[in-house]
Amino acid sequence: MASWPLLSLVTFVPLAGVLAILVLRGAEADIARNARWIALWTSLLDLALAIAVWANFDPSRADFQMLEESAWLPDFNITYRMGVDGLSLFFVLLSSFLTPLCIISSWVAVRQRVREYMIAFLVLETLMVGTFCALDLFLFYMFFEGVLIPMFLIIGVWGGPRRVYSAFKFFLYTLLGSVLMLLAIITIYYQTGSSDIREALAFDFPPQLQTWLWLAFLASFAVKMPMWPVHTWLPDAHVEAPTAGSVILAGVLLKMGGYGFVRFSLPMFPIASQNLAPLIFALSVMAIIYTSLVALAQDDMKKLIAYSSVAHMGFVTMGIFSVTSEGLQGAMIQMLSHGVVSAALFLVVGVVYDRMHTREIARYGGVADVMPKYAAVFMVFMLASAGLPGTSGFVGEFLSLIGTFQVNTWTAFLATTGMILGAAYMLYLYRRVIFGKAVKPDVLAMPDLSLREVAIFAPMIAVVLWMGVYPVSFLRPMQPSIANLIERVQSAERAHATKLAVAP
Amino acid sequence: MIPVFPIPDFMPALPEMFLGCAAMALLLLGVHQGDRAAREILWLSVGALIIALALVLAPLARHGPAREVSMFGMFVTDGFGAYAKVLVLLGAAFSLVIALSYNDRHGIARPEYPVLVLLGTAGMMMMISANDLIALYLALELQSLSLYVLASFARDSEQSTEAGLKYFVLGALASGMLLYGASLVYGFAGSTNFDTLAKLFADGGTASIGLVIGIVFIAVGLAFKCSAVPFHMWTPDVYEGAPTPVTAFFSVAPKTAAIVLFVRVMVGPFGGLLIEWRQVIWFIAVASMILGALAAINQHNIKRLMAYSSIGHVGYALIGLAAGSAAGVRGILVYMAIYLFMNIGTFGVILCMKRDGRMVEEISDLAGLSRTRPALALALAIFMFSMAGIPPLAGFFAKIYVFLAAIDAGLYSLAVIGVLASVVGAYYYIRIVKLMYFDEPVSAGYDRPIGREMQAVLVIAAVVILFFFAYPGPVVDGADQVAAALFAG
């Protein structure tokens, strides 16, 4: 298996599905049916390939594995270069895990332009997986930025009533952040003489330059993540996107920001990261407390979950920039957990939305009476989101709080209040939707989960519990890489400190 | 004593001379055959352009892109020129092909049309090869006069004649400025020859104030020809008024030639004075990018929108000139190469926008195109995302190479303004995608079928733009080599 270009396969297999869907001919209904099946099988094949990547991964190594290289622009030292390490491995898995679920969840909900819809999702999958596998700065940027095109179309074509506004806001906000990162990437390229990410990771940039580059990367990742105060595109995009679009948005696209911080900002600019960590802590705490309070006041289910995403991402940024082993592991687990849990919550909302075509919380109530299975599923994810021990959410939040506590007690203290608020808004949501007496006629008419919907949620519940009960299987592969990362940051700081001490 | 005139070596100018002769021959044929041979003459002209392309490439294949100066120092052939000539010839050929059915339908299918395009193209090629201010002026005028006539080619249309007249008056003004600048340079430096001037300023010493004014006047004339802000006023009117295939031609071939000439003049004779003219170019680039991005937002007519879009693109290309380095010139060449395909493709789609035999130019008319004409909508979406510079499409690479040059030259503020303007610009490009994909169709859609030659051009352009990332080698490496050679010589 090792001789196969496994990472290229896992990245580009979805494009083969796109080609197959493109050549479909026949009646509209036949095309739609075939497009669905092709998309499903392609994404399942891709999941199998991603699992093969995991199986081939050597968890004891800290460096990049399954390297692939081929010439792209040899005159410029820009190469097609792929590889994974402990930090990126699980994001590849997450992307390929969520895509088939998205396709199944849109099976009946999407009736218009099914062919284009499936193509958009498969292209999106290629770009997402590519972002996490790329080991060349320009290649990374191409995947990272290319995501905008399918997502723009998904929100704009299959979205809700204000979809045009949301699609534009999403596109322009993200683009604005990313172009500054592009300039930073070009600067790195000239500094190191290569666009190889590994070389850039080992390069010591001058401290002054580090700050500028760090800020440019922040502009991109903070928007993507999203961090307070540049999060305002997220509620709009989430609310208007179709269910599966929200799933990918919350599940994977937000993680690109966090991945960017771990992969680039921290190891490439350790001194700037150290100096500017208080800024991140302040923004994280703001995000956790402020957006939790905002979430508490929402009437729209999707908007509530969107704001809760911003709060959860606050834990991630906080954990990352604590630069402790616990903090980073917590941030990674939190990202993976949020990737599954928030994705699942959007699917949960999608289930009732498909039946009642409203996301307004007040229109529901007493759903437990008519949909017991649904209520149970909702409860698992609601509790995971609130960080109940035994679920993945707890592991992530707890570890990142431990990590932050070692560095900055006040930040940890304030962030902990976010956990309480998190429990508050999730339970409040659950009470309003699920409990109470079912009196509204349209609520009474809702059928419980179908087999297809159970098939979507079962693997997600399994992953949430697995990650909560035995997180070691996820932590072990990333530990060497995280240790390596911390060592890199600390040695750079020591070197900088000695230089400062020597200087008069 | 009888003065002896040595016979110059004409071989380096073979493509230009061939094109000139072909234009004459086709003109004779056209006069003899009349309008009914218009179609054949157009195809013959495309053939002539392709032969000229082969003549440009043939010496390259034989002995590489060596620099050669001939005709008493008036005419230079080098790799840089060859690269640009290929672009100009391709642009001219593509815009002739997409003009075919339009001209037929709008009663402007006359043999003079392709002949004028050929003459203009010959002028552009001579501009690219100019090595003397006099040669530059002559070539520029040959080009400009052909273009003035082309702009007013639909002589029964008020808009078209107005466009031609406006273009002529303002163009003549710009030519005057350029000539004035050239005479100032001659007066203060004592030569019009680029090589002599380059030697004179090689040490980069202080230039006299008269010389600087001369250079600025030349820059003004050239900025006008490539429609850079603040000399862009003619562009929207001419683009809107001229027949659409002529606009397509204007937006690619003369623009490429003018920018390449800009580079030739600035980094050639005045390369040593980079400090003196960099701020001028810096300003022109910034103003073009910002105006191109902002002014396009409110346009309703797609040709006007493309005019502002082209102004913006010139701004990006000029970033490369402001860098004043080999990397910058490489960026410009790559930019123009990609711009050529994006623009030809977009204008191809615009030429397909006709209902009941009449052209439709309102942007709002594109609403719901993805329902009525999915393939056409997909092609236009590809071009629009590419123009906005979104990876992995080719337009992203166009931008990245000029920004590479800007960062390399330390022009950080220029690069930051550039990327921010590109975000603003992205708005109006994706607005077109929004119309096509998010909105409901307003009408039954456009006339079918579109001509086979048009389909071919659209497919070629879309494939080049979409798959450029997979194999950027030839375009980028070629530009890299010729740009390096330009600075080595």
* A103-154 per-position pLDDT tens digit: 988 888 888 888 888 999 999 999 999 999 999 998 999 999 999 999 999 9
Could you read off the pLDDT of B467-483 as tens digits, one per residue? Answer: 888 888 788 888 888 88
What pLDDT is attached to residue B48?
A: 94
Contact assignment for B437 to A156 by CB distance below 8 Å: yes
What pLDDT is attached to residue B370?
A: 85
Could you read off the pLDDT of B30-41 as tens digits, one per residue? Answer: 888 888 888 889
Eight-class DSSP state of B441: P
Could you read off the pLDDT of A193-219 as tens digits, one per residue? Answer: 888 888 888 888 888 888 999 999 999
Averaged confidence pLDDT in chain A: 88
What pLDDT is attached to residue A491?
A: 87
How far away is chain B from the Cα of A79, in angstroms, using its nearest Cα? 12
Question: Which of A:76-105 have CB within 8 Å of B?
Answer: 76
Contact assignment for B407 to A179 by CB distance below 8 Å: no
Q: Does A148 touch chain B (CB under 8 A)?
A: yes
What pLDDT is attached to residue B144?
A: 93
Give the tokens for residue A457.
């949620």
Eight-class DSSP state of A323: T
How many Cα atoms sit within 13 Å of B130 on the Cβ side?
Answer: 29
| Under 8 Å between Cβ of B347 and B305 | no
Q: Which amino acid is at A430?
A: Y
The candidate with the shortest Cα–Cα distance to B266, out of B311, B328, B347, is B328
CA–CA distance, B50 with B52 (Å, rounded to integer): 5
Contact assignment for B391 to A153 by CB distance below 8 Å: no
User: Over pLDDT 70: what percentage of chain A?
Assistant: 99
| Under 8 Å between Cβ of A156 and A164 | yes
Confidence of residue A1 (pLDDT cuts 50, 70, 90): very low
A67 has a pLDDT exceeding 90: no
CA–CA distance, A43 with A40 (Å, rounded to integer): 5
CA–CA distance, A80 with A105 (Å, rounded to integer): 34
How far away is chain B from the Cα of A179, in angstroms, using its nearest Cα? 6
Q: What is the mean pLDDT of residues A474-496?
A: 88
| Under 8 Å between Cβ of A49 and A93 | no
CA–CA distance, B242 with B95 (Å, rounded to integer): 14
Averaged confidence pLDDT in chain B: 88
User: Over pLDDT 90: what percentage of chain B?
Assistant: 50
Could you read off the pLDDT of B243-252 as tens digits, one per residue? Answer: 999 999 999 9
* CB-nearest partner of A175 from B408, B416, B423: B423
How far away is chain A from the Cα of B407, in angstroms, using its nearest Cα? 7
In chain A, what residues touch B412 (CB-CB under 8 Å)? Answer: 183
Q: How far is CA A132 from CA A11, A67, A139, A477, in A?
A: 10, 13, 10, 16
Q: Does A215 touch chain B (CB under 8 A)?
A: no
Q: What is the mean pLDDT of residues B405-413?
A: 90
Confidence of residue A362 (pLDDT cuts 50, 70, 90): confident
In chain B, what residues touch A141 (CB-CB under 8 Å)? Answer: 391
Segment holding B70, helix H or strand E:
strand B68-70
In chain B, what residues touch A220 (CB-CB under 8 Å)? Answer: none
In chain A, what residues touch B438 (CB-CB under 8 Å)? Answer: 156-157, 163-164, 167
The candidate with the shortest Cα–Cα distance to A466, out of A373, A313, A333, A342, is A333
* CB-nearest partner of A182 from B419, B472, B477: B419
Of A60-64, A312-316, A402-406, the poorest mean pLDDT is in A60-64
What pLDDT is attached to residue A503?
A: 64
DSSP of B289-356: HHHHHHHGGG--BHHHHHHHHHHHHHHHHHHHHHHTSHHHHHHHHHHHHHHHHHHHHHHHHHHH-EET
A2 has a pLDDT exceeding 60: no
Q: Does A168 touch chain B (CB under 8 A)?
A: yes
What pLDDT is attached to residue B489?
A: 57
* CB-nearest partner of B391 from A142, A176, A183: A142
Q: How far is CA A117 from CA A39, A152, A295, B310, in A?
A: 10, 12, 30, 33
Q: Does A336 touch chain B (CB under 8 A)?
A: no
A500 has a pLDDT exceeding 70: yes
What's this model's pTM, rounded to 2 decimal places? 0.91
